[in-house]
A and B are shown apart, each in its own frame.
Chain A
């Protein structure tokens, strides 16, 4: 065995080198050298899964681009194409548009939580997780933790692009952070919905399609781009009760320093309601899967 030598080791399919391969004695030592620790507590199990989520962002940072590139294009396009016509100046329109785009891009990102969960299920690793003596909801809560980081990063990208283009929020840094925080809380509520979809549908692309089918009309039939008053009456009524509109209004308010407490409460209530319904559903589906 030890006389085998290889001449090359191309990265994608590493060849055995003289030192690779399991060593039976070392394996035996490794087996006998560990005592079973007490089971992981719920928090550290969830945190370990959160760490897993971060590692995935670290290994494939491009995935953030996938979801932010469209919103960034929207910001640039709308600001320069319509900014002058709608608000008189591009700077004014950007102040109006950016909170909406922030909401849109973070909500797009939530779809990927469902997609990632569905992708996971097609891999054998979930079977291993489910065969571990851990608190049942830990994998879901942990990935939610990782996802929240993703939402913050996606939101930050949009805000930075806006600042470069001339976005000047009236309430300064605090306002922007508060708005981002609110959007992320709402996104966490939404991601339970997509997690449920992710467990119900057959393939990652089905989740992606269903997700966009739901999110696209909701974001476009909201006040992300234009004030509802400019719309036909029936549409206006829908736009006004659309929770995404309320979230956008609240974020604009926070960024400008004139937020209505009522809007913020509605957003928090919707997020809580989505979580209350879909989190237990997701956990139950995950357990059965």
Chain B
């Protein structure tokens, strides 16, 4: 047996600036082989830039990285030989058909023409794209495009796969399909680096998660550790009358604390609620004549994770969900 490098990714101090923006500002990552590693962060956190460095598309300004032992700068071609990239923008050619896309990649990866054709047929079948195979990709739905994109990434099975926000913009059904594909990949031994904005997605798929914000890793651990660090779940309440939201916020702030107003003008959430305290808080709302349309006790949202970890909200959602100053509002 040859000695195999134990780590799929080993990055230290990666930095990348675009003009004045430090898109990635000293990121360390350690990813074991065979695992799914989630990189969680809001818009502009630096997720895509990190992936682009690790996939050898751009060189880091500082720091270093190794993929299965190969240096991402010195040994870029060796890295390219074992990774594949499913980018945030669909990385398939919209002006070709699904089948042509897969044949093209097969040829580029060194398959002979008949092998490439056969492989394309096999993948179209496995990914439920046989009917759409002859249609131009620009006419595909978002879910079909994503599936084709992932199929294109495994024309030749990579050892490490980068998945950049694979389910953003997909409906729940398509999202579940993508998740099951990811599970199949992992079961076959592919290591996956998954970027996402959704805690739930990272929670469902990842063995470990790095939360990044403004180019820095601000927390790292298993999903359970991460959630524990944020506290228990949070209570989401939607009101019948948006006018009552501030009243509701005052009550929840007293009962639970850390209230955020959601984008929906009739909705609000409070972090740090276990089932008992949440039930008590809901009862208190009713007693205060706040009429409730529905409520649920959920996982902390990414906003709440951020709030807890950084003390500030994710930039992108700041305009939707400002932490409220109850005293001021009162």
**Which residues from chain A sit less than 8 Å from chain B, CB to CB?**
11-17, 19-34, 36-40, 44-45, 47-49, 51-52, 55-56, 59-60, 123-125, 127-134
Contact = CB atoms under 8 A, between A and B. Distances in A.
Interface stretch (B87-95, B253-261, B320-328): B87-95
Interface string B164-188: 0000000001000100110111011
A124 B95 CA distance: 13
A124 B129 contact: no
Contacts of B115: 37
A36 B126 contact: no
A28 to B, nearest CB: 5
A128 B152 contact: yes
B55 interface: yes
B107 A48 contact: yes
A131 B57 CA distance: 6
Contacts of A34: 119, 155-157
Nearest to A20: B128
Contact of B126 (A22, A45, A47, A49): A22
B123 to A, nearest CB: 6
Instruction: Give the interface size class of chain B.
Output: 35 or more
B108 A132 contact: yes
Contact of A24 (B143, B152, B157, B181): B181
Contact of A131 (B84, B107, B177): B84
A270 to B, nearest CB: 32
Contacts of A132: 80, 105, 108-109
Interface string B111-148: 10001000100110111111110011001110110010
Given A28-B184, A37-B111, A131-B56, A14 B89 contact: no
B110 to A, nearest CB: 4
B100 interface: yes
B101 to A, nearest CB: 8
Contact of A123 (B94, B139, B143): B94
B136 A40 contact: no
A29 B191 CA distance: 17
Contacts of A13: 139, 141
B144 A14 contact: yes
A60 B95 contact: yes
A33 B188 contact: no
Given A14-B141, A51-B104, A128-B85, A31 B185 contact: yes
B152 to A, nearest CB: 7
B190 interface: yes
B77 interface: yes
